[in-house]
Amino acid sequence: MQSNPEVIELDEADLESKLDQIEAVLGAEMAQPFRDLLSWYACLLGLLREKKLSIHRLQKMLFGASTERTSNVLSSTESSDQGKDSSADNSACHGKTPGTAENEGHGSDSSRDERAGRRRPGHGRIPASDYTGCAQVVVTHGSLHPGDSCPRCSGGTLYRQSRWSSVVRLKGQAPVTGKVYQLERLRCGDCGDVFTAELPEEAGPQKCDPSVPSVVATLRYGEGMPWSRIQRLQKFAGVPLPASDQWEQVRDAAEQGPRDAYQHLFGLAAQGDLMHNDDTTMRVLELTEKLKHQEPLLEEDPKRRGVFTTGIVSVAEGRPDIVLFFTGPHHAGENLLSLLESRLQELPPPMQMCDALSRNMPDGLRVILANCLAHGRRNFVDVVEYFPSEVKYVLECLKRVYKTDAEAKEQRLSPEARLKLHQERSGPVMDELHRWLKAQLDEKRVEPNSSLGDAISFMLKHWEELTLFLRVPGAPLDNNVCERALKMAIRHRKNSLFYKTQRGARVGDLYMSLIHTCYSSGASPVDYLTELQRNHERVRAAPGDWMPWNYREQLIATKSEPDRGRGPPCAVASTDARRPCD
């Protein structure tokens, strides 16, 4: 690398004209990547000129941010401060503020020792009983039978134990498999008539079973696999499934049960007590073409140029969380307003958890507003390298609050009991933090226009919304549940890049909503989508009985649960698993 590289000035308008010439010769597809590169260059240059981007934030923008756990955030600054007296060593858990007392952070060591003896979740053997999708094969003893004499002592009689031994053997296959039926054909030597063997009843009337679009939709909209990758996987597994066929199967299957279930899920979500909402950028080629031709995306807002996928998580007592997705030019707040139009008039306004962007609060939206504490915390995490002692104090305060909330979840406290616990433990911590934040600006300890001043000002400006959990039962601390749900849309965008049409986006939203609600309910999306298709007439008649958390009850009540190749109730035996047997 040159020590003094030459500075080259580029004119954006000149580059645009050159790209127009390239497009005229080579086509829009060849020029589009360079247009994207030019757009990114202009955006980055503008941010740097406005001094809104530091090198640290640029690294996070380009390469992603690491975890923001307090221990990880503070580890780098603490390692450089070893052997020095620092006011950052004072913990908010003991009511200390920077510069007021000496370090008494011994409490964290004992909690670390307690955790040291525990095994992290996710480690250990998987019992054979968890392999419910595997065919169950009963293997009896080859030479011995119940009632025979013991071959060793010759005095006792053998009897069958209730606990069988289970051994698991796994085999790989394509996501979509099938059978090829070779039908015998007989031809008369005199009249020439041909007689073809009848297709077995198990083959079914259609080429694709309802489980095929269910598997493809789950791979595509649940796990983010593009059509082309599924096509390649199926091709080399010997079961061709072209991308065009996948789309047609998924599109047509949506009308056979899933759409009716989604519409009922939409109405049910509107009655929730708490609404988490957030959005992420998305690309729909049909809308991109409208922008190229200077056509407005929204009649009510002709200047709107962004396309988003909104995630809304509806929480209510007595049912699992409902997750809905909406893709289009509307913001998260506008989509929430549209959802709440289906809310019963006699119900009180729900709580809304979101970040502090103004677009999350459109005119006419009646909610009890709560803002995400994690967003306020993140502003301090971004400046930890420059203000380590101040940031450590804030993070330690918030760590105490999150620890209290974790205890409430472990004890499964009611919303009222959780509120009381927060008021007793988190209330004094947050009051002290508020006084400290206010003093930093009032006493001019921090420059208001600095990055730390901006973080403090944000917290103070939205303090009432950030601390709703201290006043309203059930109010959450942050919007993490919605951000986790949006990862499904982000994964889809990173793998597939875009939707082609608005119709394709609506189909994707439908399946994402049903699949993610299945995940939150602990249900299998493949099984659920398959049963919606097989029972589509019953779903249309009573969609409330076919939600992800209760559809199994309908199958059991009508004795219509299909045999999934599980075999007899007595299973193959194994080392540790128990299985009831006659």
pLDDT tens track for 429-454: 999 999 999 999 999 898 888 889 99
Q: Tell me the two tokens of residue 55.
A: 């090198």
Contacts of 477 by beta carbon, 8 Å cutoff, 6+ apart: 373, 374, 401, 402, 405, 469
Spell 481-518 as b/e; 16+ CB within 10 A means b: bbbebbebbbebbeebebbeebebbbbbbbbbbbbbbb
Q: What is the pLDDT of residue 557?
A: 85
Q: What is the pLDDT of residue 120?
A: 64
Between residues 109 and 475, which one has the greater pLDDT?
475
pTM listed for this prediction? 0.77
Lowest-pLDDT range of 78-87, 194-203, 212-221, 350-359: 78-87
List phi, psi (to 5°) of 113.
Answer: -65, -35
Element (H, E) at 277: strand 274-281
* DSSP helix/strand/coil, 529: helix
Model confidence pLDDT, tens digit, residues 180-235: 989 889 998 888 898 898 988 888 888 899 999 999 999 999 999 999 999 999 99
Can you tell me the mean pLDDT for 68-79?
66
Q: Tell me the two tokens of residue 171.
A: 């085999």
- d(CA 183, CA 185) in angstroms, rounded, equals 6
Contacts of 390 by beta carbon, 8 Å cutoff, 6+ apart: 88, 98, 380, 440, 446, 452
Element (H, E) at 18: helix 12-26
Residue 313 pLDDT exceeds 80:
yes
